[in-house]
Structure 1
């Protein structure tokens, strides 16, 4: 659960670059260099085990930016990124596992 304000901050979906419009996979226009080592040249590589973000309630690792995991955010009815109240869960019958 994410509030409308934090929805803009969500990471973008991975899709292939458009052909020759500032794409990283072309050699024209300052894109890809010929003969470069892609493992050494990438600065912001995705590191699935390198994230140190943890949920403040259950201490599980988060797969996106934020303070709470999706399970804890839904149980409390708050935004997973900022912690604002999004949903009233007083009438819900939930188990605390």
Structure 2
């Protein structure tokens, strides 16, 4: 659950680039280098889970967020910025 302001930040996709349009698996256009040492070039790799963790439960978060989806919904806050989005005063929620 994210606010309207943070919805614009969710445009990243995991799907790779189209074939031969700057994809990393082609040799044309500065893509893959010939005889490249893969152990040295790993540090530029994009990781979808990254190192970000939820503030409350310390679970890994898949986007640039402060809260995981479960904690954000139970608190009624935006997962990315922490702004109050939903009033959960009259909700019956459990931890199960």
TM class by smaller structure = 0.7 to 0.9
C-alpha contact 1:77 1:88 (8 A) present in aligned 2: yes
Look up the match of 1:64. 63
Displacement, 1:74? 0.2
Shift of 1:75: 0.6
Give the superposed CA RMSD: 2.3
How many angstroms apart in 2 are the aligned matches of 1:40 and 1:31? 16
Q: CA deviation at 1:77?
A: 0.9
Structure 1 distance, partners of 2:9, 2:48, is 19
Task: Tell me the SS of whatever aligns to 2:39.
Answer: helix
Question: Does structure 1 residue 32 correspond to structure 2 residue 24?
Answer: no
Residue 94 of structure 1: aligned partner: 93
What is the TM-score when the length of structure 1 is the normalising length?
0.76
* Map 1:33-48 → 2, pairs under 5 A: 33-45=33-45, 46=47
Task: State the 1:16 CA deviation.
Answer: 2.9
Q: What is aligned with 2:23?
A: 23
CA deviations over 1:19-73 (Å, ceiling 9, x no partner):
221222111121111121233223332285x71x332223333332211121111
CA distance in structure 2 between the partners assigned to 1:47 and 1:70 by the alignment: 16
Q: TM-score, normalised by structure 2?
A: 0.77
**2:53 matched residue in structure 1:** 54
